Amino acid sequence: MVHRHHERIHIDDRNLCKLCINELGDLYMDLGLSADELELLAMPRRSFTFHFPVRMDSGKTRMFVGHRIQYNDARGPTKGGLRFHPELTVDDVRDLAFLMVLKCAVVNIPFGGSKGGVVVNPKELSKNELEQVTRAYIRAIQDYIGPFKDIPAPDVYTDEHIMVWILDEYERIKGQHVPAVVTGKPYELQGIKARTYSTSLGGIYVLEEAMKRLRMSKARARVSVQGFGHVGENAARILFEEGFKIVAVSDSKGGTMNSRGLDIHKVMQHKEKTGSVADFKGGRNISNAELLTSDCDILIPAALSDQLNKENAGRVRAKIVLELANAPTTTEADQIFSKKGIMLVPDVLANAGGVVVSYFEWSQSLTNEYWDEEKVLRKLKSVMITAFHDVFALCENRCRMRRAAYQLAVRRILHAERMRGNL
Ligand code: GLU
């Protein structure tokens, strides 16, 4: 239910973005949003749920559920990843699509936001089945994606190989090459240098700015990273190579800790061999729950949503929380951090490096111009640092950084809506 000057407007609650209402509801007064503006932001423009059959290796047919939500396209074509996860719900996809809208606005790239997903555990599929699921998903959504409509990318449990299947299926349907329909492609197939680690590196550029504000030195900083997928692993690796002490890492199967520091290269080799960071010889086993409250200066949640919540936030010991995952902190936990003086660098800023380099890749695919790695990194750094300053200037540590980031993004989105005549 949305309230407009004491009068209730009856819109279907199921279509509202809960994350948006939670966060913007709170910001409503500060931002001076009108009820019309809040209502416009609280609902996605297009929301698709579809069911498609896939012939499994066994010869049996299984039905899958897919979602794609194109939340807002006032600032440009919608952009957002594709997630494969067994517990994915349409509410999650809506929240994540809304975050993409904000993220693209915070870093000021000309995209709206979207998100998609399939309810599936990809670890239980063969490679062939994974390919068939991806291709069937694209056939189902073919009319609604495209370089100037909606551009998918990797997200949780999807990788560059899946992006190639997306590209190939779409190009077969269209009967022509359309490399700008998807980002996160391998470099050999019109991808871009650095996309595989750009989310992590973008986060580190922002972290370095945050540390300057708190006068923290990297030689002394102890880091714990939750999640050892593309984002968590690359963050731990780059920080380790830069001289930070990584005291704990974890993945979905468990974690490892060593207060004197873990050799991340060796942890990576161990994971390659055994499938997990747990049981690493150079550390002692810890659970994911222990990692989050471990003794460290910088905590990096790089796994799934809602990991930091009112149950554990009070016990978090870090000075900085860098959200490389999407929505890892609940609103209650965010408020607890703020009271404790913990600086939280929000997802829409901290992990935006991925979509920023996706934007570079998209423009390369449109123009056929290819940049070297040095240029990609230089431009990424400049976008991330500008975004950090834009956000920080709005709060100067007096308010929560998430609030400042939302405020900046909402202002930019509503400005575009107003110019288009929608407000
Ligand atoms: N899935 C990533 C994110 O949540 C990247 C999206 C993109 O590159 O379009 O930011």
Q: Do domains 44-191 and 197-350 have the same CATH topology?
A: yes
Q: How many Cβ atoms sit within 10 Å of the Cβ of residue 18?
A: 15
> In the chain, what percentage of residues exceed pLDDT 90?
87
For the Cβ of 237 lying below 6 angstroms from any atom of ligand 1, the answer is no
- Ligand 1 center from residue 354 Cα (angstroms): 6
- Are the beta carbons of 310 and 329 closer than 8 angstroms? no
Q: Which of 79, 100, 206 has most ligand 1 atoms within 8 Å of its beta carbon, as the pocket-test mutant? A: 100
The radius of gyration computed from the CA coordinates of the chain, to the nearest angstrom, equals: 21
- Are the beta carbons of 83 and 153 closer than 8 angstroms? no
* Structure tokens belonging to residue 310: 């009112």
Q: Which of 155, 351, 357 has most ligand 1 atoms within 8 Å of its beta carbon, as the pocket-test mutant? A: 155
For the Cβ of 323 lying below 6 angstroms from any atom of ligand 1, the answer is no
Positions marked catalytic: 115
Q: Quick one: pLDDT at residue 143? A: 97
Position in ligand 1 atom list of the atom nearest CA 79: 9
Q: Which of these ranges, 15-24, 167-176, 189-198, has the smallest mean pLDDT?
A: 15-24
- Ligand 1 center from residue 228 Cα (angstroms): 17
Q: What is the pTM of this model?
A: 0.94
Q: Which of 99, 159, 199, 304 has most ligand 1 atoms within 8 Å of its beta carbon, as the pocket-test mutant? A: 199
Is the pLDDT score of 4 beyond 50? Answer: no
- Ligand 1 center from residue 157 Cα (angstroms): 12
Q: Quick one: pLDDT at residue 94? A: 95
Q: Which of 19, 355, 384 has most ligand 1 atoms within 8 Å of its beta carbon, as the pocket-test mutant? A: 355
3-state secondary structure the chain: CEEECCEEECCCHHHCCHHHHHHHHHHHHHHCCCHHHHHHHCCCCEEEEEEEEEECCCCCEEEEEEEEEEEECCCCCEEEEEEECCCCCHHHHHHHHHHHHHHHHHCCCCCEEEEEEECCCHHHCCHHHHHHHHHHHHHHHHHHCECCCEEEEECCCCCHHHHHHHHHHHHHHHCCCCHHHCCCCCHHHCCCCCHHHHHHHHHHHHHHHHHHHCCCCCCCCEEEEECCCHHHHHHHHHHHHCCCEEEEEEECCEEEECCCCCCHHHHHHHHHHHCCCCCCCCCEEECHHHHHCCCCCEEEECCCCCCECCCCHHHCCCCEEECCCCCCECHHHHHHHHHHCCEEECHHHHCCHHHHHHHHHHHHHHHCCCCCHHHHHHHHHHHHHHHHHHHHHHHCCCCCHHHHHHHHHHHHHHHHHHHHCCC
- Ligand 1 center from residue 199 Cα (angstroms): 8
* pLDDT 10s digits, 280-334: 999 999 999 999 999 999 999 999 899 999 999 999 999 999 999 999 999 899 9
Identify the residue whose tokens are 């509202």.
Answer: 16
Task: Name which residue leads in pLDDT, 398 or 324.
Answer: 324
For the Cβ of 404 lying below 6 angstroms from any atom of ligand 1, the answer is no
Q: What is the rounded average pLDDT of the residues 353-380? A: 96
For the Cβ of 80 lying below 6 angstroms from any atom of ligand 1, the answer is yes
Q: What is the rounded average pLDDT of the residues 250-262? A: 97
> In the chain, what percentage of residues exceed pLDDT 70?
95
Q: What is the rounded average pLDDT of the residues 156-167? A: 96
* pLDDT 10s digits, 335-345: 999 999 999 99
**Structural domain 44-191, CATH architecture:** 3-Layer(aba) Sandwich (3.40)
* pLDDT 10s digits, 100-116: 999 999 999 999 999 99
Band of pLDDT at residue 263, cut at 50, 70 and 90: very high
C-alpha distances (whole Å) from 68 to each of 78, 102, 230, 419 are 11, 17, 23, 27
- d(CA 251, CA 84) in angstroms, rounded, equals 17
For the Cβ of 66 lying below 6 angstroms from any atom of ligand 1, the answer is no
- Are the beta carbons of 402 and 344 closer than 8 angstroms? yes
β-strand partners of 51: 65
For the Cβ of 150 lying below 6 angstroms from any atom of ligand 1, the answer is no
Q: Quick one: pLDDT at residue 15? A: 72
* Structure tokens belonging to residue 345: 């660098």
- Ligand 1 center from residue 208 Cα (angstroms): 22
Q: Quick one: pLDDT at residue 334? A: 93
Q: Which of these ranges, 77-81, 217-221, 412-416, has the smallest mean pLDDT?
A: 217-221
Q: Quick one: pLDDT at residue 397? A: 59
CA atoms lying within 13 Å on the CB side of residue 173: 19
Q: What is the rounded average pLDDT of the residues 388-403? A: 86
Is the pLDDT score of 135 beyond 80? Answer: yes
Question: Average pLDDT, whole number, for the chain?
Answer: 93
Domain ranges of the chain: 44-191, 197-350
Q: Quick one: pLDDT at residue 27? A: 67
For the Cβ of 358 lying below 6 angstroms from any atom of ligand 1, the answer is yes
Q: What is the rounded average pLDDT of the residues 47-60? A: 98
Looking at the domain 197-350, which fold is it? Rossmann fold (3.40.50)
Task: Name which residue leads in pLDDT, 308 or 403.
Answer: 308
Band of pLDDT at residue 234, cut at 50, 70 and 90: very high
- Ligand 1 center from residue 155 Cα (angstroms): 6
Band of pLDDT at residue 9, cut at 50, 70 and 90: very low
Is the pLDDT score of 1 beyond 60? Answer: no
Q: Quick one: pLDDT at residue 26? A: 65
Question: At 229, which amino acid appears?
Answer: G
Band of pLDDT at residue 400, cut at 50, 70 and 90: confident
Position in ligand 1 atom list of the atom nearest CA 359: 8
For the Cβ of 81 lying below 6 angstroms from any atom of ligand 1, the answer is yes
The residue whose C-alpha atom lies closest to atom 8 belonging to ligand 1 is: 355
Band of pLDDT at residue 11, cut at 50, 70 and 90: low
Question: At 199, which amino acid appears?
Answer: T
- d(CA 379, CA 55) in angstroms, rounded, equals 44
For the Cβ of 155 lying below 6 angstroms from any atom of ligand 1, the answer is yes
Q: Quick one: pLDDT at residue 387? A: 98
For the Cβ of 158 lying below 6 angstroms from any atom of ligand 1, the answer is no
Is the pLDDT score of 396 beyond 90? Answer: no
